[in-house]
Amino acid sequence: MTFLVALVVQLLHLLLMLAAAPLAVGLGNRVAARLAGRPGPRLLQPWRDLRKLAGKQAVFAESASGLFEAAPAAAFAATVLAAALVPSFALGMAGGPLADLLVVAGLLMLSRSVLALAAMETGTAVGGLGASRSMAVAAFTEPALLLAILPLALLVGTTNLDVMAGVLREGAVGLRVPLVLAVSSVAVVAVARLRGGPASAAVPFGEAATAGDALAEEYSGRHLGLLHWAAALRRLVWLSLIADLAVPFGLVDATGSPLWWPVGVVVWALKIGALTVALALWEAGRAARPGRLAEAFGLALLLALLAAIFLYASQGLA
């Protein structure tokens, strides 16, 4: 019975993530437009775009193979699985034992690699550029992320996200310097990864090759819609992850009273909204230039290393 309830919450969580991802992008677009002095599109605009794309006829490059057609589905599936594993409003969901932080990082990497391969498959200049830049972003952010997971895992005693968020919610670890540093490192990685994605103001006009658009350049119709949806979902995964680690308060128990679920959903929505606004403010204040990735890499690495060293120096090993 308990498992059935946990399964129901798991499905609810997944549906919520799938539905909310385009909304969060809409909110981000609107805030970014307001900051630039424009009224901006409506919140539901990304959903309308998805509906429009789903009804359009797809055009495939003559040179593309079956791998090109299947890649969006594989990338979307990996992202959906990552989204299912990162808690939104409830802990103790059916997928909790699977929700390892290293696995989530691996799934996001899988989705990124599949998209890079698909972009190289058409043999176009922009696709190849996008693939190589996307992999470079991964190469410079993934090590910092894995290194930031180390002090987090040492503080909590596990890499399981479900357990980790639960321990942090109870306040058993307290507000400690290594925790703040490690979560900041994850946040820097998230900002670097989300740059150039949907709702990111930091895309220089006319230069598609810096954005995720370069990877999707040869896609159209429902396949393009799927890629946009996956990108929105990836953004929501990162924001939820930061919310789980930085402000785990308000997460409800999946096995507790269902009356608390709406409260958890509202609290989660507030957290995601606040993070979206913060991200838009951050990006609006900083011009996009090529050196940013190097800075993010150095900063995230430094924060993660400092977190580990502070932790060792304070002898706070569990």
Partner 1 sequence: MLPGLAIVAGALLALGPVAWIGGGGLAPRGALGLCTLGAVLDLIALLGGAAPGVVEVPIGLPGSGILVALDGLSALFLLLLFLAGAAVSAAALDRAAAPDPAAPFLPVLIGALAATLLAADGFSVALVFEAAALAAGALVLGGSTGFHAAAALLGMGVFAGLCLIAAMALMAPLQPWGLDLSFAGMRAHPPEGFRATAVLVLALLGGGGAAGLAPLHRWLPGAQAAVSGPVGALLAGSLGPLGSYLLLRVLFDLAGPAQPGWWGTVLVALGAAGAVLGAARAVRAADIRSIAGAAAVAQTGLVALAVGLALVARAADLAPLAALALGAALLLTVAQALGGTLLALAAGAAEAGGGTRRLDRLGGLLRGMPATTVCMLVAAASFAVLPPSLGFAAAWTLLQALIGAARAGGLGWQVFATLATLATAVAMTVGAVGAVRLVGVVFLGRPRTPRAAAAQEAPIAARAAMFGLAMLTLAAGVFPGMVLALAEPALRLLLGVGMVDRSGVLGIAPVPQAPGLAAAGLAALLVLATMATLRALRVRAAVGHHAGAAWEDGAAPPPLWLPFGDPATQTSPDGFAEPLGTVLAAALPRPMRRLRPALLHWRRAVGWADAALHPSPRTMVAALFVAAVLLLIAVVLAEQA
Task: List binders of partner 1 among 137-196 (CB under 8 A).
Answer: 138-140, 142-143, 146-147, 149-150, 153-154, 158-160, 162-163
In the complex with partner 1, the residue whose CB is nearer, 266 or 313, is 313
d(CA 18, CA 153): 28
What gap in Å lies between CA 117 and CA 25, rounded to an integer?
25
Q: Which of residues 97-116 bind partner 1 (CB under 8 A)?
A: 97-100, 102-103, 106-107, 109-110, 113, 116
Task: Specify the residue for token string 């919140």.
Answer: 43
Q: In the complex, what is the shortest distance from the CB of residue 74 to partner 1, in angstroms, rounded to a whole number?
A: 5
Retrieve residue 123's tokens.
């043999």
Closer by beta carbon to partner 1, 42 or else 51: 51
* Binding letters toward partner 1, positions 229-268, x by CB under 8 A: ----------------------------------------
- Per DSSP, the residues of 235-289 read HHHHHHHHHHHH--TTPEETTS-GGGHHHHHHHHHHHHHHHHHHHHHHHHTS---
CB 255 → partner 1: shortest distance, Å?
A: 16
Q: Candidates 44, 136, 172, 270: give the one binding partner 1 (CB under 8 A).
A: 136
> With respect to partner 1, which residue has the nearer C-beta, 109 or 180?
109
**Rounded-to-integer distance, Cα 177 and Cα 175, Å:** 7
Count of residues in the chain: 318
100 — phi, psi (to 5°)?
-85, 140
What is the rounded end-to-end Cα distance, in angstroms, of the chain?
34
Q: At what angle are helices 101-121 and 221-246 packed, to 10 degrees?
A: 160
Q: Which of 72, 172, 157 is nearest to 117 (CA)?
A: 72
Using the structure block, give the residue that is written with the tokens 């490690």.
Answer: 182
Q: How far is the CB of 130 from partner 1 (least distance, A)?
A: 9
Q: Do 85 and 104 contact (CB within 8 A), yes or no?
A: yes
User: For partner 1, which residue of 41, 124, 203, 255 counts as binding (CB under 8 A)?
Assistant: 124
Shortest Cβ 49–partner 1 spacing (Å): 15
Which of 6/280 has CB closer to partner 1?
6
- Nearest approach, Cβ of residue 201 and partner 1 (Å): 22
Among 97, 84, 85, 92, residue whose Cα is nearest residue 2:
92
Distance CA 268, CA 226 (A): 25
Residues 2-21 that bind partner 1 (CB under 8 A): none
Of 35, 43, 128, 273, which one interacts with partner 1 (CB under 8 A)?
A: 128
**Binding residues for partner 1, total number by CB under 8 A:** 90
Minimum CB separation from partner 1 for residue 95, in Å?
8
279 binds partner 1 (CB under 8 A): no
According to DSSP, residue 211 is labeled: S
Residues 283-312, mask of contacts with partner 1 (x by CB under 8 A): -------xx-xxx-xx--x---x--xx--x
* Cβ atoms of 18 and 80 closer than 8 Å: yes
135 binds partner 1 (CB under 8 A): yes
Name which of residues 40 to 99 contact partner 1 (CB under 8 A).
Answer: 54-65, 67, 70, 72-74, 76-78, 80-81, 84, 96-99
Minimum distance between the CB of residue 281 and partner 1, rounded to whole angstroms? 25
Q: How far is the CB of 162 from partner 1 (least distance, A)?
A: 7
Question: Quick one: which of 65, 46, 6, 91 has its CA closest to 236?
Answer: 46
Least Å distance, CB 273 to partner 1, is 28
Bridge partners for 160 per DSSP: 100
